Structure 1
Amino acid sequence: MPRGIRDTGPGGVPPDDALARLLARAHRAVRAGEGPARALPPGTAGLFALDTLTLNALTPDGRPELLWADPPQGLGIALDTLQYTVGDGPTLEAARSGRAVTEPDLGMAAPDRWPLFLPATATTRARAVVALPLQVGDTTVAVLTGYRTTPGPLTPALHDALHQLARILLRALITHLTVPVNGTATDSGLRLYHAEIHQATGYLAAQLDIPLAQALLRLRAHAAANGPLTDLARAFLTRRLPPDTLQD
Structure 2
Amino acid sequence: MTTFDDAVEAMSRAPIGDSLSRPFLDLFPVSGVSIATVGPVLGSETLTATDDTALRLDELQFDLGEGPCWDAMRTGSPVLVSDARASSSAVWPTFGPAIVDLDVQAMFVFPVRVGPLQLGAIDLYSDRPDEMPGEAVVRAQILARAVSRAVLRHTLERERRDNNLEVEPVGAHSRRIVHQATGRILVQARVSADDAHLLLQG
TM-score by length of 1: 0.56
Cα separation, partners in 2 of 1:59 and 1:86, compared to 1, 3 Å: closer
Q: Give the aligned residue type for 1:93.
A: D
Whole-angstrom CA distance in 2 between matches of 1:35 and 1:132? 19
Whole-angstrom CA distance in 2 between matches of 1:120 and 1:162? 26
1:26 aligns with 2:4: no
Q: How well do the aligned residues superpose, as a CA RMSD in angstroms?
A: 2.7
| Deviation per residue, 1:31-85 (Å, 9 max, x gap) | 6x4324263474742531111111112353574211012x2x3210011111112
Whole-angstrom CA distance in 1 between matches of 2:143 and 2:98? 29
Asked whether the equivalents of residues 69 and 123 of structure 2 are also in contact (C-alpha less than 8 Å), the reply is yes
SS in structure 2 opposite 1:28? Answer: helix
Whole-angstrom CA distance in 2 between matches of 1:43 and 1:24? 11
Where structure 1 has 5 or more consecutive residues not aligned to the other structure, the ranges are 1-17, 185-248
Cα separation, partners in 2 of 1:64 and 1:95, compared to 1, 3 Å: farther
Matches within 5 A, 1:1-248: 18=1, 21=3, 23-30=4-11, 33-37=13-17, 39-40=19-20, 42=22, 44-60=24-40, 63-69=43-49, 71=50, 73-109=51-87, 111-178=89-156
Q: Which residue of 1 aligns with 2:165?
A: none
Same amino acid, percent of matched pairs = 24
User: How many pairs align?
Assistant: 160
Cα separation, partners in 2 of 1:115 and 1:46, compared to 1, 3 Å: farther
| Deviation per residue, 1:145-171 (Å, 9 max, x gap) | 111111121122222221121011112
Where structure 2 has 5 or more consecutive residues not aligned to the other structure, the ranges are 163-202
Q: Give the aligned residue type for 2:154.
A: H
Whole-angstrom CA distance in 1 between matches of 2:88 and 2:6? 39
Asked whether the equivalents of residues 55 and 143 of structure 1 are also in contact (C-alpha less than 8 Å), the reply is yes
Whole-angstrom CA distance in 2 between matches of 1:41 and 1:101? 18
TM-score by length of 2: 0.68
Q: Which residue of 2 aligns with 1:12?
A: none
Asked whether the equivalents of residues 36 and 169 of structure 1 are also in contact (C-alpha less than 8 Å), the reply is no
Cα separation, partners in 2 of 1:28 and 1:40, compared to 1, 3 Å: same
Asked whether the equivalents of residues 98 and 138 of structure 1 are also in contact (C-alpha less than 8 Å), the reply is no
Whole-angstrom CA distance in 2 between matches of 1:62 and 1:175? 12
| Deviation per residue, 1:103-127 (Å, 9 max, x gap) | 1101221633111111011111101
Q: Which residue of 2 aligns with 1:224?
A: none
Asked whether the equivalents of residues 59 and 65 of structure 1 are also in contact (C-alpha less than 8 Å), the reply is no
- Displacement of 1:99 in angstroms is 2.3
Whole-angstrom CA distance in 2 between matches of 1:44 and 1:61? 25
Cα separation, partners in 2 of 1:67 and 1:127, compared to 1, 3 Å: same
Q: Give the aligned residue type for 2:105.
A: R
Asked whether the equivalents of residues 30 and 36 of structure 1 are also in contact (C-alpha less than 8 Å), the reply is no
